[in-house]
Structure 1
Amino acid sequence: MKLRSVLALCLLFAVAACSSNKNKDELKRSGLADFDATVKIKRDWGKGFGSGRDKRASNLMAALDEQRLFVADAKGRVYAYDLERKKNLWKSNVDSDIAAGVGLGRQNVYVGTFKGELIALDAETGEQKWLAETSSEILSVPATSSTVVVAQTIDGRLYGFSTRDGKQLWRYDHAVPALTLRGTANPVVQRNQVIAAFANGQIVALNVRDGALLWSGRVSSPKGRHDLEKMIDIDGSPIIDGGMVYAATYQGALASFSKAKGQVLWKQDLSSYRNLAVDGAHVYAVTDESHVVAFNAANGSILWTNEQMQMRGLDSPLLLDNYVLVIDDDDYLHVLNKADGSFAGRRKLSGDGFSAPMLFVDGGFLALSDDGKVSIYSLKP
C-alpha cells in the first residue's frame, strides 16, 4: 500500500496509540465493495505539469480562474495553462522548493516555500512581482482578498501582506503544541474576515485588513494521558458556508460556529485530518479510518455512514451534483450517492497518488496527482 499521506511519521504512531483498544477486525483494510454502478466516470482531458509533490509533504493544489489553470511542483516551477484553447500560457521558476500553492488572487498567483518565502507571480505573465519572508515553512496555500494575501506558517503564525508590493501589514502569533501533524490547514478569506485553524484545536477569525482578532473558538480540547493521545491538530481547512464555519480535528470533533461571533452551534465526536465538504444542508467528512459520514448541517446529527472503504486512505471529499466523490490510496475514485452513501460508481484514475483536493470544473471535476498529472473527468449515466 502506497504511503502518501501529508502527515509526519508521528501520525502513524498516533493512530496505533489511539487504536490500541479497538478490535483489530475494526481496523482491517476493506477490499473493493461489489455494487451495481449507476454512473460512469469519463476522462475528458489530461496533461502533465512538472514533477508534482516531494517527500516533504508539500501542499500542492491546482487553482482555476475561468478557463486558466495554475499548477506548481515542489521543484519551484509554476505553470499556467488555458483549458479552453488547450494552450500553455507560461512557465515560471521561483528558484526555491515550493511547499504550498497555488493560491489565486485577482492579479497574482502565490506560492509558499520551505524556506518561509511567500512569492507573488503575475497571473498574466508569470513574472515574479515580489518576495516576502516569514519565520518558517509555509505549508498552507496562501489565501487572498483584493488587497491582502494571508500566509500561515508551520510555527503557528499568520501574516498579512500587501498584494501590491508584498509589504507586511500585520502578524498574528498562536501557540503550537510540542507534537503536531505534519501540515497546516489552509486559511480562508471571505470579505473582511480570515478564518484560520491551528494545531491546538482552535480556530480564529481575524480582520483581514489589520489582523485584529474578531473571535476565537475551540473545536475540541486535548484528552488522554500522553502527548500522542492529546494531539488534536486541525489539518483540514475550515469551511465557510453561509453564516456558518465548520472545522474538524484529528482525535477530536467536528464543530459548527457562527461566522459573525464564533458561538459554537453544535459539536460531534470525530477524528479527521481531511477537508470537509458542505452543501448548505449537509456536512460530509472523511474520518481517519476512511469512513465517510454525512451530518445534518443544522444540528450535527448523523444522517449516514459508509464504512466500506475502511483504512483505504481516503482523501478529502468533493460534492458533484447528487454525489460525494472520494479517492483512495490505490487511486480509485469512489462515487457515493448523497442521499444514503451507497456506491454509484468507481474508476481508477490516471496518476500516482492524489493528496490535492479535487476541484469542480465545467460540470465535472479536476484531479491533480502527486506526480503532476492533471485530469478532468465527468460523470455519465
Structure 2
Amino acid sequence: MSTLLSSRWLRVTPVVLSALLSACSFWGSSKVAPPDLGENVPLLGVRQVWTSKVGAVALPAMDVRVQDNRVLLSSADGVVAAIDARTGGDIWRATLGESLSAGAGGDGKYAAVVSRANVLIFLNEGRELWRQALPSQVFTAPLVAGGRVFVLSADRSVLAFDMQTGKKLWTQLRQSSDTLVLKQAGVIVPVGDTLVVGLSGRLVGLNPDTGTPRWEVPLASPRGVNDVERLVDLVGRVSRSGDSLCARAFQATVGCVNVLRDRASVTWTQSASGSEGVHGDAEAVYGTENNGQVIAWRREDGSRLWSTDRLKLRKLTAPLALGRSVVVGDDYGWVHFLGRSDGAPLNRVATDTSGVAAAPVVAADTLVVVTRSGAIYGFRPD
C-alpha cells in the first residue's frame, strides 16, 4: 500500500486512489472466504417471479431509482432502461453507445446520466433531448426534480439545469482543500423545497432555485495526519422519515439530522466503519459495516438496537427495510432477509455469482435486485 500512497499517486490520480481505499481496507491483499452460513431455514416465503437484463454493471457508483411501478437503471456501456417491476418487461430502453460514470437518475419517464467524457445526457421515455458538457467527473446519479436536473460533481460542486432546454441555471462551487474524493455515489436528495447535498462530511441545504446555501451541519470531520486518513465524505443511500434525515460518512460515522426549511441540527452521530449508505423507518436506521456486520440504531437517539455478525466478510450492499425484514445483497450473489426487530435470519435467495451490484429496491410489491453481470431479478413474498 505504501507505493499507492506516494506523493505522485496522490497528486496525479486522487479519484482512482480513493476508489481503491474501501476495497483495500476491507479485503487487504486478498479476498478472504466468508464463514459458511449453514442450511437455509426459510421463515419468510420469497419466490422469484421474473428476470431481465441491462448489460454489465461495472459502474463505480451503481444506483437504482424507483417511481411507482418503474425501476430506472443503467449499464456501464451506456444502456438506460425503465423496467416495469410488475412484469420485468421494458417500459423503454435506450442505447447511448458510450460508457457511463454513474447510475441513472430520474422518475422513470425522464432520465439523466453522465458519460465518462463528463457529458450530462437527458432522456424523455428513452429519447435523447439534450446534452451538456460538465466541468468535472461525476459519480453520483443526477437528481431530476421540480423541472430541473441537479448534478453533484466529484469536486463537490453542484449544478442545476433546466429540464426542458438543458440551459445551466446555476453553479454552487465548494471551496475544499481535500486531495482525495470518493469514486462512489454521494448524497443529493430533495427534502421539501430544499435540495440537500453531501459535501465532504457535511449535509448542506441549498435553495433549488438559486443554489444559495440555507444551512449546513457536520456529520463527520477529517481526522488523522495524511490525506487518506483525513478523507471524509457522505455516501448514498440515505434514510428519511418526516423531518429526520440519516446518512453515513464514509468509514467514520452514521448520524441523523433534523431538517427544516431554513435550518437543520444534528440529532446524533455514532462511530461506524462502513462504506455503504443506510436505510430505515420511523423507529430505526439500518446499516452494513465493512466487515459484514449489520447494525440497527434507534432513530430517536442513535442507541444500538441490535447487531449481527452472521454475514461476516460477505461485502454487503446498503440495506433495504422491507416489511418485517431488512434486506441486503452480498458479493457472492446472495440476497439475505434479516428480522427487522432482531437481525435473525429469515431467508436467503440466490441471484448469480457475479455479486449484487447495488442496494435492493422495492416497486409494485416486488423486490428488485441487480447483479454486476447486469441481470435483474424480481422477487415477491409467497
Q: List aligned pairs for 1:1-381, cutoff 5 A.
A: 8-15=19-26, 29-33=34-38, 36-49=41-54, 51-54=55-58, 57-84=59-86, 87-105=89-107, 107-123=109-125, 126-174=126-174, 175=176, 177-198=178-199, 200-260=200-260, 261-350=263-352, 352-380=354-382
Q: Is the 8 A contact 1:356 1:369 kept in 2?
A: yes
- Name structure 2 gaps, 5 residues minimum: 1-16
Range that drifts further, 356-365 or 7-16: 7-16
- 1:347–1:176 distance in 2 versus 1, CA, 3 Å: farther
CA distances 1:108-158 after superposition (whole Å, capped 9, x unpaired): 2111122221111012xx211111221122211111222221111111111
Q: Is the 8 A contact 1:219 1:255 kept in 2?
A: yes
Residue 186 (structure 1) shift: 3.9
- 1:160–1:305 distance in 2 versus 1, CA, 3 Å: same
Residue 347 (structure 1) shift: 1.8
Q: Distance in 2 between matches of 1:66 and 1:221?
A: 37
Q: Distance in 1 between matches of 2:88 and 2:312?
A: 38
Q: Is the 8 A contact 2:60 2:102 kept in 1?
A: yes
Q: Which amino acid aligns with 2:214?
A: L
Q: Is the 8 A contact 1:77 1:94 kept in 2?
A: yes
SS class of match (1:10): helix
Q: Distance in 1 between matches of 2:301 and 2:244?
A: 12
Q: Which amino acid aligns with 2:211?
A: G
- Name structure 1 gaps, 5 residues minimum: 1-5, 18-26
- 1:154–1:14 distance in 2 versus 1, CA, 3 Å: same
Q: Is the 8 A contact 2:60 2:183 kept in 1?
A: no
Q: Distance in 2 between matches of 1:13 and 1:86?
A: 36
Residue 236 (structure 1) shift: 2.6
- 1:45–1:15 distance in 2 versus 1, CA, 3 Å: closer
After TM superposition, the score normalised by the length of structure 1 is: 0.87
SS class of match (1:272): coil
Q: Is the 8 A contact 1:116 1:153 kept in 2?
A: no
Q: Is the 8 A contact 1:195 1:238 kept in 2?
A: no
- 1:99–1:176 distance in 2 versus 1, CA, 3 Å: farther
- 1:94–1:254 distance in 2 versus 1, CA, 3 Å: same
SS class of match (2:182): coil
Range that drifts further, 325-334 or 181-190: 181-190
SS class of match (2:21): helix
- 1:16–1:316 distance in 2 versus 1, CA, 3 Å: closer
Aligned residue for 2:8? Answer: none
Q: Distance in 2 between matches of 1:310 and 1:271?
A: 14
CA distances 1:326-353 after superposition (whole Å, capped 9, x unpaired): 1111111111001111111112224622
Q: Distance in 1 between matches of 2:67 and 2:24?
A: 40
- 1:335–1:90 distance in 2 versus 1, CA, 3 Å: closer
- 1:131–1:201 distance in 2 versus 1, CA, 3 Å: same
Q: Is the 8 A contact 1:48 1:372 kept in 2?
A: yes
Q: Distance in 1 between matches of 2:202 and 2:329?
A: 28
Residue 35 (structure 1) shift: 6.2
After TM superposition, the score normalised by the length of structure 2 is: 0.87
Q: Which amino acid aligns with 1:8?
A: A
- 1:67–1:301 distance in 2 versus 1, CA, 3 Å: closer
SS class of match (2:103): strand
SS class of match (1:8): helix
Range that drifts further, 152-161 or 236-245: 236-245
- 1:96–1:30 distance in 2 versus 1, CA, 3 Å: same
Q: Is the 8 A contact 2:68 2:363 kept in 1?
A: no
Residue 34 (structure 1) shift: 5.2
Q: Distance in 1 between matches of 2:341 and 2:215?
A: 35
CA distances 1:67-117 after superposition (whole Å, capped 9, x unpaired): 444332111222234455665444323343112232114852111122221
- 1:287–1:145 distance in 2 versus 1, CA, 3 Å: same
Q: Which amino acid aligns with 2:21?
A: C
Q: Please give the root-mean-square deviation of Cα atoms over the aligned residues, in Å.
A: 2.4
Q: Which amino acid aligns with 2:37?
A: L
- 1:224–1:87 distance in 2 versus 1, CA, 3 Å: closer
Q: Which amino acid aligns with 1:32?
A: L
Q: Distance in 2 between matches of 1:98 and 1:325?
A: 27
Range that drifts further, 233-242 or 211-220: 233-242
Q: Distance in 2 between matches of 1:133 and 1:293?
A: 41
Q: Distance in 1 between matches of 2:108 and 2:376?
A: 23
- 1:314–1:211 distance in 2 versus 1, CA, 3 Å: same
